[in-house]
Structure 1
Amino acid sequence: MKRWVLFAVVVVGGMRSGVAQSGETSPQSKKGQMLLDQMVTALGGQAWVEMKQWEEDGRIAAFFRNEPNGSNVQFFDYKREPLSERIEFATPKNLMPGSVRDVVQVWTPVMGYEVTYKGRKELPEKQVTEYNRRRMHSIRQVVTVWMKRPGVIVVSEGTSVVERRIADKFTVLSPDDDAVTIETDANTHLPLRRTFQWRNPLFKDLDEEIEEYEDYHTYDGFPTALSVTEYHNGDMVLQRFLTKAVYGHALPDEMFDPDHLLQKKK
């Protein structure tokens, strides 16, 4: 990552000078924009960009120091643009087969809440900050929000290897010195890895967040990674395994209302 930061500074400085003098963009920028456009087309094109509501179901496992910590939880994830999300976690019934969705998180554009039949409470500040940081650096946010901002630049960084696959690599840089690096399959153009860094306020150094995407299947016309792995500073911290994805169906408003409490289970 340090290499691309230095590279980006040089390229961006040169590009800005070039734009001011000739109105032309650099070859790296043209190639970067082409790679981003290819990725969007592979994901579903304009229909993917304009997607407003979808659901993903599966299981989630957490790790500590690259080892499973024993948690393996079923989840049901409902999303609505802009920036609303509801995650239901299922727990086994006592002395009965099956499970019950009795733990729910509702995320608004700025806050996160835990909702039960007793009421709602705000999630811890650290958890909300981390969630919002990941969300604002997601591939969807880069495409639908970052790319609309003046001064955003896309820079090609050549090729790389992700899980034994040749990948095209490009970085999207914002005017406020934020950046997201995306690596896409050289053949399918689907995302294989997304990387970003942020300044740790306690230690003052850079922390690195990575998501890797595998096992793509198509649901409702949209390629979907059924396996998503998250890394923090090189350590695996989370894996999500999808079993279902539904795109474009209407979701009731109350699902995204943190004041709408759960019904008490009898």
Structure 2
Amino acid sequence: MSAAVQAGSSSALPRRHPSGRKALVVTMMLVVAVASAFPLVWMVLSSLKTVAESMQVPPVWLPRTPSLEAYEKVAGVVNVGRSMWNSLVIATITTAGILITSLMAGYAFAKYSFPGRSLLFSVLIATMFLPPIVTLIPLYRMVGSIGLGASLAGIIVPNLANAFGIFLMRQFIAGVPDELIDAARMDGASELLILFKIVAPTVAPAIAALALFAFVYHWNSYLWPLTVLQGNADSYPIVISLSRLLSYNRGAMNTGLVMAGATLAVLPPLILFVFLQRFFVDSIVSSAVKG
């Protein structure tokens, strides 16, 4: 009888529903998302405001009469087309080189056994902790000695291999079953065919994530291109060219001009992220599952 009473009383207790906790998590995610997106949204909206709206106090959130006048002024101050092309060449070729070298080196470290492999990989990882400023002068002298100074090639060549990319590819390729690779070898496939036809599709999310990281980093790179080009304005990427707009940032009447230039600079990486977002999320999920 007492057992029945206890069972009835326990069943009468209110059950805890995860709805409250879920609502809290969703609310926190929304707050973080809004806080992260607000500067970008404000930048785009400010670039569409008129001069009067940019100077208005309190500030106007939405432009009443959106205008592209600021973008026209940017085109008059900076050679936007040429600078965007230079940035695209630098970021695209460098990213392609990083993907190829990282994939090949990562495959070698993950699936080959050779003397000194662990030591070499440790040295490679150690280079990730070197501040970029430490290698700036040696790399600049090396680029000048091989005749690539003041050119886009001088910016690209030293960055065609990346320690972080090799480390990332090695970690993901290590999870590819050895039986799959051995079966391909028994069928007569070459190592390059195995790498690009079997291994690469298997680690596609990691490749997409690395491509996104590399493209954004080298699109936004400032110090190294400025050091190599040494006043060669025709080869300036968009980030360096837009530095000319800093002299226009002293008055509120030029806020739209500065915001328009910043919007132009951020568009290509943003578009790339939209296309690679699914692969980027997949790489995070798969790395969490493996971990």
TM range, smaller chain: under 0.3
Task: Give the TM-score of the pair, scaled to structure 1.
Answer: 0.25
Q: Structure 2 length normalisation: TM-score? A: 0.24
Q: If each structure's helix is expressed as a fraction of its own residues, which one has the higher value?
A: 2
Task: Point out the structure with the larger strand share.
Answer: 1
Higher relative contact order, structure no. (Cα contacts within 8 Å, ≥ 6 residues apart): 2
Larger C-alpha radius of gyration, 1 or 2? 2
